[in-house]
Amino acid sequence: MDTHNEKGATLVETAITLPLFLLILFGIIQFCLIAYTAFTLQYQVNKCLRWSSTSAQPVPNEAKFVSISNRLSQHLNNFHIPTDNLQVNMCNGAVSDCNDTNPGASGSFVTLQARVPAPALFPMGGITVAGRAVIKNEPF
C-alpha cells in the first residue's frame, strides 16, 4: 500500500504563487495610477493653455503666466493629483526646453509645459509625469 503524506501542500503552493500574484496586481495598479496622472495632466495643460489663448481679458504676460499656473494647479487638485511639486514653464515658440515666463504676443506660438511627480504605491525612485502643449495666441 502506497501512502503519500501531502499535508501542507496547498500552503506551500500558496506561499510560492501569492507573492508573484501580488507583485503583478500592484504593478498593474501602479501603472494605472501613472497613466491616469499622465492623461489628466496632458488634458489639463491643453485646457489651461487654450483658456489663456482665447481669454478676452488682456493681462500682462507675467500675470497671465501666474493665472495659468494657478488654474492648472486648481484643476489638478480637482482630480486628486497633488500639486506640491508642480513645475510649470511657459515660453515663446514651439521649443522643447524653456524657462521663460513670457507667454508671447498675439499671433505667436506659446508652449506650456508642466511636470508633477507620479503617485507611487511603493518608493520607486521618483517617476515624473510631464504634459506639454503648443498653441497659437489668438489676436483680439
Grid cell locating 103: 507667454
Grid cell locating 77: 487638485
3-state secondary structure (DSSP) of residue 125: coil
pLDDT, residue 22, reads 95
Question: How far is it, in rounded angstroms, from Cα 124 to Cα 67?
Answer: 33
Cα of first residue to Cα of last residue in the chain, in angstroms, is 95
What does the pLDDT look like over 107-122, one tens digit per residue? Answer: 667 788 889 988 888 7
pLDDT, residue 55, reads 66
Confirm whether 39 is domain-assigned: yes
128 conformational bin, left if phi > 0, alpha if psi -120 to 50, beta if neither: beta
Query: Residue 90 sits in which domain range?
Result: 9-136
Number of structural domains in the chain:
1
- pLDDT of the chain, 140 residues: tens digit per residue: 556 777 788 889 999 999 999 999 999 999 999 999 999 999 998 988 888 777 655 555 677 778 888 888 898 888 888 888 888 877 766 555 565 545 556 666 778 888 998 888 877 777 889 888 888 776 65
C-beta separation of 132 from 112 below 8 A: yes
Grid cell locating 127: 517617476
C-beta separation of 89 from 65 below 8 A: no
Confirm whether 18 is domain-assigned: yes
Confirm whether 23 is domain-assigned: yes
pLDDT, residue 94, reads 56
Closest CA to 111 of 134, 84, 128, 136: 134
Phi/psi of residue 66, nearest 5 degrees: -65, -40
Confirm whether 1 is domain-assigned: no
